[in-house]
């Protein structure tokens, strides 16, 4: 009898498995994906076809485009850089392999048992695992569902894995498409669009909604839209794709815009319209679980399902589909299984778009606060006034700190600019400790760093910024 069976080895499952073992729980992790040698392919979406390979390509493509567009600003003249896509992809694959093998090593070191196969929950104490070798029943005191998510397919643009692909296919192109279409201006569409645009594709993004990045700060969304269009991502809002037809040469994309039908011809089309929770053949008839209208497994704030001893974490439950949210939920759950007190500060899950410049935020927006009737004050600082940002030639964007009007407690931090993700991370730490804008203002920031913009924005909340001329009395 195991203490816990964890289904899925993505950032929710593998992190939960390691912590469970650290806590002395007899732990098994079931993963259905296998590598070419027939071993479990650990790491889930994030390590294999998500966060890591996309960041590898974002980094490579950024260097390439920097060499073409910006080296000469620094007085460095180079011949036109030559692109070796095969080598770029090989580098990405090596990083993925290193990390997935690393998870396997961590499982061994932590004595997590690995089982390869598809898991199906029979009841709260039994999981059936089926593989080529047959099926077996695992007996357990607890079950943690961490089965993640997969790209949503839309019937109007069926994936053919050739010229109409999902995010996974878009990480594998062997040549740079001349004309690239993307359906969806969400985080994944923007990141993948950036990769291929930097490598030379003419990118057109079609987004059904009229609003760009509705979850972000309004002013940041406006600036980001302008900047990305300037960079060559041709983002079209209010354009709902109604069909995509592939012939051997190209893809004809038809979309509706203001009541008119329009056409776009592209060499490749990426469908990036969101992701759906993985629950196919997971919930046995008598296990007592079902999915909600979005396909998620319903859970409370502690990731408990409606069946005792069955928990669900990560992309398969409500909330943002983010690796760090998934991992922290996994840790919370196994700590609770081990009898410890643990909870998730959901209001402090940071979001990042790893474009260049990056977009990042944590906490509430001005719009959220106004809607809840909470009075607030804000302080902003432009990177154009940061010495380090200027020295690096990275002065686009700004950072905004939002604090409670009376208590000065920081309620949200929103950034668009160099190292925005790392800067916002500092705000997450401050907010975790209940910091006020004044606390951040009293903190010493190394000079010259782009992080000083956070310091200045925090000071600006109370009219005390040093390097901008709009100080309040
Ligand atoms: P997953 O990582 O999807 O893992 C679930 C695992 O469960 C899979 O390995 C699957 O094979 C296995 N499984 C499913 N069903 C069964 C079953 N019945 N039996 C056995 N095994 C099963 N997030 C970020 O935070 N930062 C980023 O930069 C980022 N970039 C991304 C880029 C792309 C292109 C994509 C697609 C996603 C990105 N994400 C990013 C999202 C991130 O990958 C997910 O939020 C994260 O992987 C969710 O973790 P998870 O463990 O819940 O699920
Ligand atoms: P996200 O869920 O953040 O990954 O973003 C996916 C985006 O795709 C959303 O902004 C959707 O509005 C958009 N989308 C979904 N279906 C279509 C469609 N048929 N045409 C254009 N955009 C779409």
Best residue for ligand 1 mutational test, from 18, 30, 45 (most atoms within 8 Å of Cβ): 45
Q: Nearest residue CA, atom 32 of ligand 1?
A: 50
Q: Is 183 in the pocket of ligand 2 (CB under 6 A)?
A: yes
Over residues 420-470, the pLDDT tens digits come to 999 999 999 999 999 999 999 999 999 999 999 999 999 999 999 999 875
Cα(447) to centroid of ligand 1, in Å?
38
pTM of the complete model: 0.97
Cα(354) to centroid of ligand 2, in Å?
18
* C-alpha span between 277 and 122 (Å, rounded): 19
Q: Domain check: are 138 and 24 in the same one?
A: yes
* C-alpha span between 35 and 91 (Å, rounded): 18
Cα(270) to centroid of ligand 2, in Å?
11
Q: Kind of pairing, strands 268-271 and 179-183?
A: parallel
The answer to the question of residue 311 being in a domain is: yes
User: What is the domain count for the chain?
Assistant: 3
* C-alpha span between 24 and 467 (Å, rounded): 53
Q: Which residues line ligand 1 (CB under 6 A)?
A: 7-13, 30-33, 44-46, 50-51, 54, 118-119, 146-149, 167, 188, 278, 282, 314-315, 321-324, 326, 354
User: How confident is the model over 54-62, as a mean pLDDT?
Assistant: 98
Do 153 and 314 contact (CB within 8 A), yes or no?
A: no
Residue 288 phi, psi (nearest 5)? 90, 0
**78: number of Cβ within 10 Å:** 9
Query: First vs last Cα of the chain: how many Å apart?
Result: 68
The answer to the question of residue 269 being in a domain is: yes
Do 361 and 413 contact (CB within 8 A), yes or no?
A: yes
Q: Domain check: are 74 and 138 in the same one?
A: yes
Nearest atom of ligand 1 to the alpha carbon of 8: 7
The answer to the question of residue 466 being in a domain is: no
What pLDDT shows up at residue 473? 44
* C-alpha span between 344 and 53 (Å, rounded): 27
Q: Domain check: are 40 and 56 in the same one?
A: yes
Do 412 and 440 contact (CB within 8 A), yes or no?
A: no
What pLDDT shows up at residue 470? 54
What pLDDT shows up at residue 248? 82
Best residue for ligand 1 mutational test, from 46, 189, 196 (most atoms within 8 Å of Cβ): 46
CA dihedral 204, 96, 325, 279 (to 10 degrees): 80
The answer to the question of residue 469 being in a domain is: no
Percent of the chain with pLDDT over 70: 99
- Ligand in nearest proximity to the CA of 49: 1
Of 119, 122, 120, which Cα lies nearest the Cα of 288? 122
Q: Domain check: are 385 and 260 in the same one?
A: no
The answer to the question of residue 473 being in a domain is: no
Tokens of 1: 């009898």
Q: Domain check: are 268 and 228 in the same one?
A: yes
Do 17 and 27 contact (CB within 8 A), yes or no?
A: yes
Domain boundary among 241, 273, 305: 273
At residue 85, does pLDDT exceed 90? yes
* C-alpha span between 192 and 196 (Å, rounded): 6
Q: Domain check: are 187 and 202 in the same one?
A: yes
Best residue for ligand 2 mutational test, from 50, 159, 271, 274 (most atoms within 8 Å of Cβ): 274
Give the DSSP letter of residue 457. Answer: H
* C-alpha span between 473 and 471 (Å, rounded): 7
Domain boundary among 225, 250, 273: 273
User: How confident is the model over 44-52, as a mean pLDDT?
Assistant: 98
Q: Is 274 in the pocket of ligand 2 (CB under 6 A)?
A: yes
Cα(451) to centroid of ligand 1, in Å?
30
* pLDDT mean across residues, the chain: 97
Q: Is 316 in the pocket of ligand 2 (CB under 6 A)?
A: no
* C-alpha span between 84 and 138 (Å, rounded): 47
The answer to the question of residue 158 being in a domain is: no
Q: What is the CATH number of the domain that holds 393?
A: 3.30.390.30
Q: Nearest residue CA, atom 27 of ligand 1?
A: 51
Tokens of 123: 């009841």
| Domain around 240 | 164-273
Of 458, 379, 351, 360, which Cα lies nearest the Cα of 417? 360
* C-alpha span between 204 and 156 (Å, rounded): 18
What pLDDT shows up at residue 273? 98
Domain boundary among 347, 377, 409: 347
pLDDT band at 36 (very low <50, low <70, confident <90, very high): confident
- Ligand in nearest proximity to the CA of 320: 1
Q: Domain check: are 66 and 118 in the same one?
A: yes
The answer to the question of residue 193 being in a domain is: yes
Q: What is the CATH number of the domain that holds 226?
A: 3.50.50.60
Of 89, 290, 96, which Cα lies nearest the Cα of 172? 89
| Range in 155-159, 247-251, 299-303, 396-400 with the lowest mean pLDDT | 247-251
Cα(90) to centroid of ligand 2, in Å?
30
Give the largest CA-CA distance in the chain: 75
DSSP per residue over 110-173, as a string? TT-EEEESEEEEEETTEEEEEETTEEEEEEEEEEEE---EEEPPBTTB---SSSEE-HHHHT--
- Catalytic machinery residues: 447
Q: Domain check: are 321 and 437 in the same one?
A: no
Q: Domain check: are 39 and 121 in the same one?
A: yes
User: How confident is the model over 304-332, as a mean pLDDT?
Assistant: 98
Contacts of 124 (CB under 8 A, 6+ apart): 143, 287, 288, 307, 308, 309, 310
Q: Domain check: are 400 and 455 in the same one?
A: yes
The answer to the question of residue 157 being in a domain is: no
Q: Domain check: are 50 and 181 in the same one?
A: no
* C-alpha span between 166 and 444 (Å, rounded): 45
Q: Domain check: are 249 and 102 in the same one?
A: no
């Amino acid at each position: 009898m195991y203490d816990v069976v964890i289904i899925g080895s993505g950032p929710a499952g593998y992190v939960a498995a390691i912590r469970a073992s650290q806590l002395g729980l007899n732990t098994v992790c079931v993963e259905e994906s296998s590598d070419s040698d027939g071993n479990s392919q650990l790491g889930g979406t994030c390590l294999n076809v998500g966060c890591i390979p996309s960041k590898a390509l974002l980094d490579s493509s950024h260097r390439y485009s920097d060499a073409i567009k910006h080296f000469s600003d620094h007085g460095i003249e180079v011949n036109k850089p030559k692109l070796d896509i095969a080598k770029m992809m090989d580098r990405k694959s090596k990083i993925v392999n290193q990390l997935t093998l690393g998870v396997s090593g961590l499982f061994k070191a932590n004595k997590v048992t690995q089982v390869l196969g598809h898991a199906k929950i029979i009841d709260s104490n039994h999981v059936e695992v089926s593989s080529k070798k047959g099926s077996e029943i695992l007996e357990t005191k607890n079950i943690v569902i961490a089965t993640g998510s997969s790209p949503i397919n839309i019937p109007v643009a069926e994936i053919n894995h050739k010229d109409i692909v999902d995010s996974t296919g878009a990480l594998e192109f062997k040549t740079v498409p001349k004309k690239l279409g993307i359906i969806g201006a969400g985080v994944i569409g923007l990141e993948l669009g950036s990769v291929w645009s930097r490598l030379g594709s003419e990118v057109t993004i079609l987004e059904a909604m009229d609003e760009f990045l509705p979850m972000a700060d309004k002013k940041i969304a406006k600036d980001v839209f302008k900047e990305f269009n300037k960079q060559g991502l041709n983002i079209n809002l209010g354009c709902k794709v109604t069909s995509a037809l592939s012939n051997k040469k190209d893809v004809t994309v038809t979309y509706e815009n203001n009541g008119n039908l329009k056409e776009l011809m592209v060499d490749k089309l990426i469908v990036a319209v969101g992701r759906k929770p993985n629950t196919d053949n997971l919930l046995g008839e008598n296990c007592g679980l079902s999915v909600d209208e979005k396909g998620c497994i319903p859970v409370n704030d502690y990731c408990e399902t409606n069946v005792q001893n069955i928990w669900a974490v990560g992309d398969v439950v409500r909330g943002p589909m983010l690796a760090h949210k998934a991992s922290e939920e996994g840790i919370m759950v196994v700590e609770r299984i081990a009898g410890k007190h643990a909870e998730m500060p959901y209001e402090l899950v940071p979001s990042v778009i790893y474009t260049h410049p990056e977009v990042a935020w944590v906490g509430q927006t001005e719009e959220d606060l106004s809607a809840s009737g909470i009075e607030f004050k804000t302080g902003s600082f432009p990177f154009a006034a940061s010495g380090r940002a200027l020295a690096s030639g990275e002065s686009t964007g700004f950072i905004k700190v939002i604090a409670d009007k009376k208590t000065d407690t920081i309620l949200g931090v929103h950034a668009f600019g160099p190292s925005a993700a790392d800067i916002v991370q500092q705000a997450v730490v401050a907010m975790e400790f209940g910091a006020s804008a004044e606390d951040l203002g009293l903190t010493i920031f190394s000079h010259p760093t782009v992080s000083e913009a956070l310091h200045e924005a925090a000071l600006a909340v109370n009219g005390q910024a040093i390097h901008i001329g709009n100080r309040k009395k």
